[in-house]
Copies of this chain bind each other. A is one copy, B any other.
Amino acid sequence: MPQNRLFYNHFVLPEAQRDSLNVVLVSPRNPLNIGAAARAMANFGFSRLSVVAPFDPTWREARSAIGAPVLLQNAKSTECLAEAVASCTLVVGTGTQTYRKPEQRIVPLPELTPLVSQELARGGRVALVFGPEKHGLTREDLSYCHLLVEIPTHPLQPSMNLGQAVAVCLYELTRCAESPPPTPVASVTSTAASGRLDLLAGVIEEAMQAVGYSPRAMQPANRHDLRLLLRRLSLTTRDTRRILGLFRRILWRINHSGH
C-alpha cells in the first residue's frame, strides 16, 4: 500500500521499548480473536504476544491461518499466567467496568500511557493482560497484576470484543506523539520481576505453614492476599533477595530445631 505521508513516524514508545511490552491473552476461545489481536499489535508496532492455556484447536488454527503474521508464528504459549508474566516488572490487567471489589489501583485507560512508558524507559518489562472472551480475567488472574486498567465503555454495553479491546489499548499507548517519555526517575532501582515475587511468595507461604500461622482452610486466601501484597509493595530485586534470604534462614532454623 503506497504511503507518501507519515504523520506519526515517531511514537510515544520508541521501537526498542515497544519490544519490552508483552501482550498476553489468557485462554482465548476464538481463533479469529487471536488473529485480530495480532493484527492490532502489528498496526501499532508491537510484536511480543503470549497466549496462556490456549484451547488447542483454536491456537493451531490461529497460528496456521493463511497470512498469519510473523508475530503470531513467534507467539509464546504458556501453561499459566504466572509463567507468561514471569519476566515482567509491571503487569497490567485490562477490563471494562467489571471489577467488583478492586484489590489494586485502577487506572482509566486514558491515563495509562505515562505509567507504562515510565516503566519501559527505566528498562522494565510490561505485560498487558487480556482475559477470555466470556468473562474476562478471574480474581486469580488479577492477583498477578500490579494494576488494573479500565477501558471506559458505556454502562449499557460495557463488554468489549477481545480484538477490539487490544486495538483500543495499543492505540492509546501510541496515540500521543507530543510528550516524550519521562526521564527515568528511579533508574537505579530495578523492580523485581513477577517470577521472583512468586518465588518469594512460595517461601513465605512455606514459613507460614511451618509455624502454623493460620488454619489450613485459610491457606488459599492467604496465598491470594500475599500475592497481591507483594505486588503492591513495588519491591526491588534487592529487597526481594534479602527477604528471600531471611525467610529461607527462618525455614532452615525451624527445620533444624530438633523436633
Q: Could you tell me which A residues sit within 8 Å of B by CB distance?
A: 1-9, 32, 36, 39-40, 42-45, 69, 96-100, 102-111, 150-161, 163-164, 167-168, 171-172, 174-177, 180, 183-186, 204, 207-208, 210-213, 225, 229, 233-235, 239, 242, 245-246, 249-250, 252-254, 257-259
Q: How far is the CA of A258 from the CA of B259 in the complex (A)?
A: 8
A159 near B1 (CB under 8 angstroms)?
Answer: yes
Query: Given A32-B32, A152-B175, are A211 and B249 also a contact pair (CB < 8 Å)?
Result: yes
Contact across chains for B103 and A210 when beta carbons are under 8 A apart: no
Select from chain B the residue with minimum beta-carbon distance to A222.
B242
- The answer to whether A153 touches B43, judged by C-beta atoms less than 8 angstroms apart, is yes
The residue among A32, A99, A208 with the most chain B CB atoms within 10 A of its own CB is A99
- Cα(A107)–Cα(B235), bound, Å: 20
List 15 A-B pairs, Cβ < 8 Å: A1-B98, A4-B100, A8-B108, A36-B163, A42-B154, A42-B156, A43-B160, A45-B154, A105-B186, A164-B164, A167-B167, A210-B253, A212-B249, A233-B234, A253-B254
- A97 and B234 form a contact (CB under 8 A): no
Which residue in chain B gives the minimum CB-CB distance to A98?
Answer: B1
Select from chain B the residue with minimum beta-carbon distance to A180. B108
Query: Chain B residues near A156 (CB, 8 Å)?
Result: 42, 45
What chain B residues lie within 8 Å of A96 (beta carbons)?
A: 43
Contact of A213 among B43, B160, B249 (CB under 8 A): B249
Interchain CB contact under 8 A, B39 and A161: yes
Minimum distance in angstroms from A17 CB to a CB of chain B: 14
Question: Is the pair B250, A97 in contact by a Cβ cutoff of 8 Å?
Answer: no
Distance of A8 Cα from B111 Cα, bound (Å) = 13
Q: Which residues of B contact A252 (CB under 8 A)?
A: 211
- Give the residue of B109, B159, B164, B253 whose beta carbon is less than 8 angstroms from that of A163: B164
Judge whether B185 and A103 touch: CB under 8 Å.
Answer: yes
Across the interface, A100 reaches (CB within 8 A) one of B2, B160, B167, namely B2
Cross-chain contact A152 with B185 (CB below 8 angstroms):
no
Chain B hits for A213, CB < 8 A: 245-246, 249
Residue of B104, B111, B160, B172 touching A185 (CB-CB under 8 A): B104
Question: Which residues in B have their C-beta under 8 angstroms from that of A44?
Answer: 153-154
